Structures are given as C-alpha cells and as structure tokens.
Amino acid sequence: MVLLLFGPPGCGKGTQAAVITQILRIPAISTGEIFRAELKAGTALGNAAKEIMAGGGLVGDDIVNEMVRGRLKQPDCRDGFLLDGYPRTIPQAEFLDRLLGELGRPAPSVIYLEVPDDVLVARLTARRQCPVCGRIYNLQSQPPLKDGVCDVDGAALIQREDDQESVIRARLKAYAEATGPLIEFYSGPRFHRIDGNRRPSEIQEDINRILGLNG
C-alpha cells in the first residue's frame, strides 16, 4: 500500500502517521523529519535546507525528490509506505508518479486532513516534541504526564524553531500556495477528505474505515 497523508502543518499528520504505521506495519516517512535529522547531524543536505526551513519556506523540489527516491528504495519500503509531508508541490507529485511507476508500485491513496488556519496556529504554538523518541505532545490537548518531560523516556521536551507564530504563518502561506493545487491533482476515488478538527481517536476511526480496517 502506498499512502499519502496530506494537510497543512499542524493538521495532525504526525499523530495519525504514528498510528497507521503500527497498524499496517509500513514505515511512515516524513520529509520534514528527515531534514531535521540531517540538520542535527550537520550534513550537506541539512545545511542546504537549514535557512529555508527556519524561514518556513519549501526546500527545492530537486533536493527533496532525490532524497525521497533514495528512501523509497530502502528494503523496509518493500511492502508499502506512508508519506507524510511529501509531495508538497505539483512537480513533486509528478516526480512521485513516475517514481512509483519505476518501482512497480500502485497509485497512492490520499488522506487529506482539513483544519481551519486559526485552529492550526493555536495547535502549533502549543506543540512540543521529544528530541529522543520523536513523540509529539500538545500542551492543551495532549500534555505530558509531567510538565516539560517525555512520558516515554523522561527527556526534556522541545519546541520546534519553526513553531513560532510568525514562521507558522509563513508555513501556512507556503502550504496554501504550493500544496493547495495538489488537492486538485489527486482528486478522484482515491482521495479522501477528513475533518481534522476533531479528537485524534475520531479521526483515526475515519482513517481505519477508509483503509478497510474496521473488522
């Protein structure tokens, strides 16, 4: 199965990706997470993306596409994969189409999580992440058991640099301009629009239904 999780920053893609990957036993590949890991490791790729990410813009299509090509050829993608945060532009979607053809993979199913902008800003400014295990928290809706530390490993939670309000607005603008047209690109029976402004468990039920996982 090839699954694309779609939607603006803060729509809940990361949270849902973590659940889907466990149920379907396929890797969840987040291009944003790959960039952050490369940045942390100080690689050339990380440095190339650094300033663009800090300003909330999009990294160039060629860079992202080649990175994804390399990742999808890894053995853990053999039985399928979920892409979170890719494609984000029409050229990326066209590239992915060709790549799936080359790799002999089926056309993707697309899940689009729709959330209004002011809800996204409120969510993102309250978002925290564990730098060790990657678990995502929200100070309002899903706080950690103990203030400021991860429930799983006790590491001090961090706020992503690009989760500051001014950067969030830039990211939402970049999303609307570049990613909005993708909704049109993928429209058809494999495109599923879900109301993402609900509790994660409710959203999960809808996704399970779409994936045929409800028994």
The Cα angle at residue 8 between residues 6 and 13, in degrees rounded to 5: 50
Q: Which residue number, 56 or 108, has a Cβ lying nearer to ligand AMP? A: 56
Q: Are 155 and 135 in contact (CB under 8 A)?
A: no
127 part of the active site: yes
Q: Which residue is nearest to ligand AMP (CB)?
A: 32
Residue 62 tokens read as: 């060629």
From the list 36, 128, 135, 171, the catalytic residue is: 171
Q: Given its phi and psi angles, is residue 212 left (phi above 0), alpha (psi -120 to 50 degrees) or beta?
A: left
135 part of the active site: no
Residue 132 tokens read as: 């060790």
Query: Residue 212 Cβ, how far from ligand AMP at the closest point, in Å?
Result: 27
Instruction: Report the interface residues with ligand AMP, using CB under 6 A.
Output: 9, 30-32, 35, 52-53, 56-59, 64, 85-86, 88, 92, 162, 171
- β-strands 191-195, 2-6 pairing: unpaired
Query: Residue 214 Cβ, how far from ligand AMP at the closest point, in Å?
Result: 28
198 part of the active site: no
Beta bridge partners of 192: 111
Q: Are 48 and 63 in contact (CB under 8 A)?
A: yes
Q: Which residue number, 19 or 52, has a Cβ lying nearer to ligand AMP? A: 52
Q: Which residue number, 176 or 213, has a Cβ lying nearer to ligand AMP? A: 176
Q: Which residue number, 61 or 205, has a Cβ lying nearer to ligand AMP? A: 61
Beta bridge partners of 129: 136, 158
Q: What are the residue numbers of the active site?
A: 13, 88, 127, 160, 171
